[in-house]
Chains A and B, each alone.
Chain A
């Protein structure tokens, strides 16, 4: 059975434990933080386990790459702590269960992963995907399972993820372009943390787009836009991709506005938090985030994660701002149109 590879010595040597003291939701001084974190490590009860919003940020704040968030999830499960109501967890467990239905395109050795998100069927077309648009996998059989970190279900990840990886391998895929960066985080952070082997090369779609845009440089017209970027929870597991995003924006002439809730101080979309902690905290977070976006007067609000899009794009539009996905922003730069738009939602009466 896979077990979390975790170096307790690193924690013992850590003086400031920023993983805890920088938490946006649990206010802790260093002394209390050390004491409570030690309880977590020792398998004792700590209020941290109950209070955690599962925002993933502690993983990014850890200066030692020790994955404290994975430790929290591990301990939550062992203690039977439910970060969200049990039926919500059941729903997630059941709806993503592999059922032997392989949804694949005309696969090549290099393929796109749509994860289990239909948005990518809309997004992954045009010049930027000319060679790969039909080489794609989608659905439960290729679902990365990282979402179960929100639900204290490490055991499920350990059970399902190796099978998912095997499903991908069996398709003959050597390079997997992850359009959902939660997939990339799974294959480059989560799987290694549990010693799960990944027999293919995961590529973050930012890096894929950078290469494509470089190849299409004659067709790229700098957009000259200022954008507010919605940084999602899974980027906390792979913060290095932020540099790629900066490079990508640079290539297409987009300025990433400096705002309070971006980069390490980002706020998540808050819908997982709504289901876990209730509407007040979620509404407060979304308001702070949206106010902050608005304050920089962006030409667009840019989304990376489709789940963030589903949670916030309508609210962004209601405030008079324009939501767009990173891929679509790049499409604009090569003279194409935005493909992922808000559903026209009319209350039918």
Chain B
């Protein structure tokens, strides 16, 4: 019988291969509610060649392989459902190139958002990328793979829309360039004018290949940034308010928060949005324009702007926001998870009603952050509930609430974002059979042995 551990240490320095129980324990779970399942090996490659060799080994031996970035999805997407090899990408963290004139960054598969942000801030302060509100150890690649959203999503779409090229190790071990880099030295497009193959790797939860390099678009970083806060107590007004603001084409990011605590949040929907400018005059013009865009709500007394004092602005302007981690500790014990459908923004009011109903039904604290996507084509609406990790009953109730929220969202126009296994199943159940068949064929074609993150998108 082949000794996989020794095979792996022949590919990667032995310091970066492990089958020790204490390490397998850590890699067998994530911070969310999905059940743990441990891998048999953990390996940290440094090069694309090492990734290739590991994948070939896994293929040969028909061992499951799960690529992992920050492991922060909360929905168990990198919990190795069938054991096997967990491929921790953290060592592949180089920022290979900043192409200033082409406005993109070329990075390795394990580069974190925090590292890219710092690098740009230090060396290219006039450029920025779309930072998600996850901890800075979230990797750029994994976030794009799950169609993450970030601070530029309101203007530019999903973070995956801002990708402009990939290098992928296919499940059969070949290295493949995706986008213009397949024929040019430049990584300016992930598809056009060629057939866009990048979508073979986004939204598939790591079941179709391992991204070893990615180019992401960079955008102008204005010198000044400010935040505005508009409140309304009528959920049914929220979609129009979001749209009106989006259509000014003046705002950067827009997030609507609904939660009962701290008490200042209770009874209102907090519509938080950001404006940027290269001068105070530009900012002031935008402030005034946004004010007047919402004047009708103000005049009817249905909504109003909060004057934000400096100490209130500082946390709101921080990127990523730390509010998520604060919310996670509302139920002492530090756990939270959200079910996050991507949905039409017109569904805001019914979703928020369901969010509150489920919190009452399952006796949980709740929060929701709805981020507008791409000027209002959709939103990500999070049904978030907290739990105490030391309290199995609360965790069970939270999971039940999330499952029910997912069912509700799917029945009401939403599509689950970074779905956990249960949500994947109900998504598949609802999916057009021909679409499902197409996915099945693609998966079989790319991963004939079914080694890539098995258990996820089990369409075979």
Query: Could you say which residues of chain B place their CB within 8 Å of the CB of A195?
Result: none
In contact, A90 and B310 (Cβ under 8 angstroms): no
Residues of B contacting A279 in the complex (Cβ-Cβ under 8 angstroms): 287-288, 291
| Docked complex Cα distance between A348 and B321 (Å) | 11
In the complex, identify which listed stretch (B194-202, B297-305, B344-352, B448-456) lies at the interface while the others stay far away. B297-305
Which of these binds chain B: A93-101, A243-251, A256-264, A291-299?
A: A93-101
- In the complex, whether A125 has a CB less than 8 A from a CB of chain B is no
Are A84 and B304 touching (Cβ within 8 A)?
yes
Contact A348/B305 with A90-B233, A95-B264 known, Cβ cut-off 8 Å:
no
> Provided the pairs A82-B301, A94-B263, A95-B263 are in contact, do residues A345 and B307 lie with their beta carbons within 8 angstroms?
no
Q: For residue B178, give the distance in angstroms from its CB to the closest CB of chain A.
A: 29
A240 within 8 A of B: no
Which of B233, B307, B319 has the most A CB atoms < 10 Å from its CB? B307
**Roughly how many angstroms separate A87 CA and B294 CA in the complex, as a whole number?**
14
Per DSSP, chain B at the interface is: mixed
Size class of B's contact patch? 35 or more
Asked whether, in the complex, the Cβ of B311 is within 8 Å of the Cβ of A343, the reply is: yes
Chain A 334-349 per-residue mask, 1 if CB under 8 angstroms from chain B, else 0:
0000000011010111
Tell me the nearest residue of chain A to B298, going by C-beta. Answer: A85
Contact residues in B for A82 (Cβ distance below 8 Å): 301
Question: Contact flags (1/0) for A207-244 with B, using CB distance below 8 Å?
Answer: 00000000000000000000000000000000000000
One of A58-66, A142-150, A172-180, A270-278 at the interface? A270-278
Tell me which residues across on chain B come within 8 A of A91, comparing CB atoms: 231, 264, 267-268, 306
Bound state CA distance, A86 and B300, in angstroms?
A: 9
Q: Are A85 and B268 closer than 8 Å at their CB atoms?
A: no
Q: Are B307 and A271 in contact (CB under 8 A)?
A: yes
Contact status B317-A347, CB under 8 Å:
yes
B307 touches A274 (CB 8 A): yes
C-alpha spacing A310/B310, complex, angstroms: 7
Which residues of chain B come closer than 8 Å to A275, judged between CB atoms? 304-307
Chain A residues with CB under 8 Å of B221's CB are 349
Q: Do A95 and B233 touch across chains, with their CB atoms under 8 A apart?
A: no
Any chain B CB within 8 A of the CB of A88?
Answer: yes
Whether A347 and B304, one on each chain, are in contact in the complex, defined by CB atoms closer than 8 angstroms, is no
Q: Contact at A348–B310, with CB atoms within 8 Å?
A: no
| B314 near A345: Cβ-Cβ < 8 Å | yes
A-chain residues with CB within 8 Å of residue B303 when the two chains form the complex: 85, 87
Q: Which residues of the partner chain B approach A99 to less than 8 Å between Cβ atoms? A: 263
Contacts of A94 in B (CB 8 A): 263-267
With a cutoff of 8 Å between Cβ atoms, the chain B residues found around residue A314 in the complex are 310
Q: Is B128 an interface residue (CB 8 A)?
A: yes
Q: B128, B224, B264 — which one has the most chain A CB atoms within 10 A of its CB?
A: B264
Expressed in whole angstroms, the Cα–Cα distance for A275 and B221 within the complex equals: 30
> Per-position contact with B for A75-111: 1 when CB-CB < 8 Å, else 0?
0000000101111101100110101000000000000
Q: A94-B266, A347-B226 are in contact. Are A85 and B304 (CB under 8 A)?
A: yes
13 pairs across A/B with beta carbons < 8 Å? A85-B297, A85-B298, A95-B262, A118-B311, A272-B307, A274-B305, A278-B295, A310-B309, A343-B310, A343-B311, A345-B314, A349-B125, A349-B222
What are the 10 closest A-B residue pairs judged by CB atoms, nearest first?
A: A85-B304, A95-B264, A347-B225, A310-B309, A87-B231, A271-B307, A88-B304, A343-B310, A94-B263, A87-B233
Which residues does A use to contact B, with CB under 8 Å? 82, 84-88, 90-91, 94-95, 97, 99, 118, 271-272, 274-275, 278-279, 310-311, 314, 342-343, 345, 347-349
